[in-house]
Amino acid sequence: MAHTYTTISLNDWESYRQFLDSLSGNWVFRGQADAGWELQNAIERTDFVGLHPNIEQEFVAEFQRGARNYLTRDQIPEHLIEWLALMQHHGAPTRLLDFTKSPFIAAYFAFEICSATESNTIAIWAINIHYLKARSLAAFSAHYNEDLLKSGQLIHEQLFEKIFYENRCRLVFPVEPFRMNRRYSLQQSIFVSTGIASVPFMEQLGFLGADMERAVIKIELPAVLQKPVLRELQRMNLNRASLFPDLDGYAASLRLRYNSMRTPDELLGDQLRKLDDKEYLFLP
């Protein structure tokens, strides 16, 4: 199936920054290390999701039972969306897909693990989250109009549970748990969920129809920009240590920082450019 999102190919980091200036604050972003990958949530990549209609519910229920052995009373989620966020945090497959409100954090995740060769390209996906919310609420009103009227057009925890367990609305919509852990707060995360577990994310995103071209953008950049981009993001304090506030994140940030260091040839080039700049300072 062809998906009619917009693709924009850029050649350098400055072009990316300039393009971001053309966007409003209504967009959220997701970085991916390979531009050939479309958007997929983790559960659609499992072998079990299509076994029977209630398999996802069974999976979540088993996680809830087992996870209580590892959580304190205060850490136990109160609502389903918080359980799914916890599962997502620890690597259990869910129908949620992580986006961030920061295009630079998205770029970090794309460049961090890409294969930095001239033939490879990374992608930063952008979705107009305000438009997605409006369109999904309009679609939900056909099934949950009374709930939406009572909630003031909000998908609160109880309505999300109904959408999740009924598993019948073929669309994509934004969700934000009331309680977010520290990592997701630092990453400025927002979740996007599918209405049906077993149907691919991109197929359900197609509910936007002809407007998908204006509401979904894939921005492509050469992967060979990896080192200079990571150095630039380091200057913005975007690294593993700041985005993953634990010892694992700190250790990974050191590895990436050292891997991104300038080579002797790059350092020589920097020194020569500085000399050229000094000469211009003394021109009459």
3-state helix/strand/coil string of 33-52: CCCCCCCCCCHHHCCCCCCC
Give the tokens for residue 123.
Answer: 């992608």
Q: How far is CA 231 from CA 75, 238, 260, in A?
A: 36, 9, 7
Print the domain residue range for 125: 6-238
Q: Is residue 246 in some structural domain?
A: no
Say what the pTM is. Answer: 0.84
Q: Decide the pairing of beta strands 189-194 and 96-100.
A: antiparallel
Block residue for tokens 């009373």: 73
Q: Is residue 253 in some structural domain? A: no
What 3-state class would DSSP assign to 238? coil
Provide the pLDDT for residue 170: 97
79 assigned to some structural domain: yes
Q: Is residue 254 part of a domain?
A: no
Instruction: Sort strands 6-9 and 121-128 into parallel, antiparallel or unpaired.
Output: unpaired
Report the distance separating Cα 19 and Cα 240, nearest Å: 25
What's the structural domain count of the chain? 1
Summary mean pLDDT of the chain: 88
**pLDDT single digits (tens) 107-128:** 999 999 898 887 899 999 999 9
Residue 43 has pLDDT above 90, yes or no: yes
- Rounded to whole angstroms, the Cα distance separating 77 from 211 reads 36
| Phi, psi for 192 (deg, rounded to 5) | -120, 130
Between residues 249 and 210, the one the model is more confident about: 210
Q: Which of 23, 19, 10 is nearest to 214 (CA)?
A: 23
| Percent of the residues in the chain that have a pLDDT greater than 70, as a whole number | 83
Q: Higher pLDDT residue, 268 or 33?
A: 33
pLDDT tens figures, 17-30: 999 999 999 999 99
Q: Which residue from 111, 99, 66, 67 is spatially nearest to 231, judged by alpha carbons?
A: 111
Assess if residue 183 is contained within a domain: yes
Closest CA to 128 of 28, 5, 255, 235: 28
Please report whether residue 195 resides in a domain: yes
Does residue 99 lie within any of the structural domains? Answer: yes
Classify residue 248: in a domain, yes or no. no
Element containing residue 143 per DSSP (H, E): helix 129-151
Assess whether pLDDT exceeds 50 at residue 249.
no
| Structure token pair of residue 191 | 């979740």
Residue 221 in contact with residue 13, Cβ under 8 Å? yes
Residue 76 structure tokens = 């136990």
Q: Is residue 258 over pLDDT 70?
A: no
CA 162 to each of CA 10, 58, 98, 144, 195: distance values in angstroms, whole numbers, following the listed order: 42, 16, 21, 9, 11
Whether pLDDT at 263 is above 60: yes
Structure tokens, 231: 């150095």
Q: Which own/partner pairs from 17-26 qualify as long-range (CB within 8 Å, at least 24 positions apart)?
A: 19/219, 20/103, 23/126, 26/128, 26/129, 26/130, 26/131
Residue 57: other Cβ atoms inside 10 A: 13
